[in-house]
Amino acid sequence: MTTFILNEKTVSSQAREGETLLDFIRYEKDLPGTKIGCREGDCGACTVLEGRLEGDKIIYRSIVSCLTPIGNARGKHIVTVEGLNMEKLSPVQQAMVDHGGTQCGICTPGFVVSLTNHTLQPEISTPEAAIDSVNGNICRCTGYKSIERAAISISNLLKDKNPENPIGWLVDKQFLPEYFSGIHQRLRGLKDEQAGQIQGKMIMGGGTDLLVQQPDQIAETGLDLFFDRDDLKGIAEKDGQVLVGAAATANDIMHSHILEQYFPDIKKHFRLISSDPIRNMGTIGGNIVNASPIADLTIFFMALGSVLHIRREKGNRTLPLEEFFHDYKKYDLKPGEYIESIAFPIPQKPFGFNFEKVSKRTHLDIASVNSSCFIQTENGTISHCSMAAGGVAPVPLFLKKTAAFLKGKPLNAGSIREATGILSEEISPISDVRGSKEYKALLARQLFLAHFMEIFPGMFSIKELTS
Ligand SMILES: Cc1cc2nc3c(=O)[nH]c(=O)nc-3n(C[C@H](O)[C@H](O)[C@H](O)COP(=O)(O)OP(=O)(O)OC[C@H]3O[C@@H](n4cnc5c(N)ncnc54)[C@H](O)[C@@H]3O)c2cc1C
Ligand code: FES
Ligand code: FES
């Protein structure tokens, strides 16, 4: 039984935990405002709000209901567009009308939910952030300029939002219906509904890979739900390492203050990964075990010398991330084992780190090729170098030979040029829908050079690195 608050009402579902929240909302609860577009997390027509208690606060996030197993709604507040309706249009709905932000209307509930999610965020609103809040929503007929103008006008209305009591302020200004004021108290009443024992069933994180790949089988099977397990969440520093729980989402990582102090560009890098709703759902554990050769989080962490802490019935084992992958979608995880966390040594300053990704469009697209690089120098010599690249082999590739070649070499254009030769021997891209093998080899080389230009700004020109 899964119990949660859907809009104003507390609801319980007997559905299997892997059935989608979207189907429950539309077909069991007869709330057709949440639309079905792609059922693959791409279009945002099915976007809903997920509110959960964190400490003494409620945190709201946007998620796509087509890829949310209903079990992941347990103990939360789920809000559909119907749950935002009041006697009059809310300022978000009104802005969409005033700026001509809707035509056929199929995408509109998703945009309204995402923009309302923006109003709920603790950060001070800016026009850029308001526009960015719809990065997971696609509109095929209105055109984005009118929606952007609506987003900017909403941002202007949020200037006086009370940071001490945002929900009270939003209710007062009729962005949210009155019932939102009582949700905190009601969620505390549901808080006991915690995830139970791990039972050796199929593991489900955010569902953003599994529910795309095998939705029908998932709906029928029993699941171990990892997404809300407190023991698998959290990002912390311990014994000289940074530990990231396997159920930490891409957005948990992107907004972690601990990680940001070592990787100041982490927000820029993670903006290249999927969209806000998908980053709110997809976990690092899922990204690694899905074993895609172009998995962005895997590539990001591989250059950092990361290890996996793998839990099994009797004790733990630890494995370097690069040794986890054996062949295409084949990896070192035995029945009954699961990833508990990923850890890497706290980087000793000075060091440089960079992540690059090329895809056909900026948001909501997987990489053609991606790459990360961690580098340290001493007196003009490369003392440590570690690199990874995706889309150039059947597995996320640790560039062992290229990095070994660079270690001990002077940091100059000649060393970097020579290393590109080793790189091209070390990779083995294949042609597919993301590009020909020649194109991917070229991309891998360009990203490799981009690392040096980003990490050592002004030191090299592209001309001297390529001539
Ligand atoms: C629209 C869209 C865009 C996307 N864009 C990107 C992108 O830009 N870059 C990118 O890298 N990925 C992208 N993805 C893929 C996906 O979001 C990520 O791979 C995500 O991190 C998967 O995590 P999850 O928790 O949702 O995995 P799930 O689907 O829940 O699980 C995936 C696999 O991991 C297993 N698993 C999960 N957690 C554990 C654990 N702790 N231990 C053992 N096994 C475990 C599951 O059993 C399953 O086999 C995208 C997906 C969608 C739908
Ligand atoms: S239906 Fe397209 S994202 Fe869910
Ligand atoms: S209004 Fe038709 S798809 Fe956006």
Q: Which of 223, 255, 287 is the last residue of a domain?
A: 223
* Top mutation candidate among 24, 25, 34, 46 for ligand 2, by most atoms within 8 Å of CB: 46
| In a shared domain, residues 155 and 255 | no
- H-helix or E-strand containing 130? helix 127-132
Tell me which residue of 292, 285, 296, 369 sits closest to 325, measured CA to CA.
292
Q: How far is the CA of 116 from the centre of ligand 3 (A)?
A: 18
Asked whether the CA dihedral 291, 292, 298, 302 is positive or negative, the reply is: positive
Share of the chain above pLDDT 90, in %: 91
Helix (H, G, I), strand (E, B) or coil at 154: helix
Pairwise CA distance, residues 366 & 368, whole Å: 7
Q: Which of 319, 345, 371 is the last residue of a domain?
A: 345
Pairwise CA distance, residues 198 & 201, whole Å: 8
Angle separating helix axes 108-120 and 144-157, nearest 10 degrees: 30
Instruction: Write out the residue range of the structural domain in which residue 172 sits.
Output: 91-176
pLDDT of residue 191: 67
pLDDT of residue 433: 87
- Give per-residue pLDDT as tens, 228-263: 999 999 999 999 999 999 999 999 999 999 999 999
Q: How far is the CA of 363 from the centre of ligand 3 (A)?
A: 18
Q: How far is the CA of 38 from the centre of ligand 2 (A)?
A: 5
- Give per-residue pLDDT as tens, 44-79: 999 999 999 998 899 999 999 999 999 999 999 999
**Averaged pLDDT for residues 219-226:** 92
Share of the chain above pLDDT 70, in %: 98
| In a shared domain, residues 121 and 140 | yes
143 or 115, greater pLDDT: 115
| In a shared domain, residues 367 and 381 | yes
Pairwise CA distance, residues 288 & 361, whole Å: 23
Assess whether the C-beta atom of 104 lies below 6 angstroms from ligand 3: yes
| In a shared domain, residues 53 and 190 | yes
Q: How far is the CA of 244 from the centre of ligand 3 (A)?
A: 39
Assess whether the C-beta atom of 142 lies below 6 angstroms from ligand 3: yes
Indicate if the pLDDT at residue 32 is higher than 90.
yes
Indicate if the pLDDT at residue 192 is higher than 90.
no
191 exposure class (CB count in 10 Å sphere: 0-12, 13-18, 19+): exposed
**Averaged pLDDT for residues 197-201:** 88
| In a shared domain, residues 160 and 211 | no
Q: How far is the CA of 120 from the centre of ligand 2 (A)?
A: 22
- Give per-residue pLDDT as tens, 367-388: 899 999 999 999 999 999 999 9
| In a shared domain, residues 219 and 229 | no
Please give the tally of structural domains in the chain: 4
Query: Ligand 1, atom 47: nearest CA belongs to which residue?
Result: 203
- Give per-residue pLDDT as tens, 353-366: 999 999 887 767 78
Residues 6+ apart with CB under 8 A from 100: 142, 146
| In a shared domain, residues 214 and 268 | no
Indicate if the pLDDT at residue 411 is higher than 80.
yes
Assess whether the C-beta atom of 140 lies below 6 angstroms from ligand 3: yes
Ligand 1-lining residues (CB < 6 angstroms): 40-42, 67, 202-210, 212, 226, 246, 273-274, 278, 281-283, 285-287, 289-290, 295-297, 338-339, 364, 366
Pairwise CA distance, residues 406 & 290, whole Å: 31
Q: How far is the CA of 55 from the centre of ligand 2 (A)?
A: 30
pLDDT band at 106; cut points 50, 70, 90: very high
| In a shared domain, residues 166 and 288 | no
Query: What secondary structure does DSSP assign to 280-321, as a single string?
Result: HH-BHHHHHHTT-TT-HHHHHHHTTT-EEEEE-SSSEEEEEH
Average pLDDT for the chain: 95
Tell me which residue of 102, 111, 89, 98 sits closest to 44, measured CA to CA.
111
pLDDT band at 153; cut points 50, 70, 90: very high
Ligand positioned closest to the Cα atom of 246:
1
Amino acid occupying residue 55: G
Indicate if the pLDDT at residue 195 is higher than 70.
no
Task: Write the CATH number for 317.
Answer: 3.30.465.10
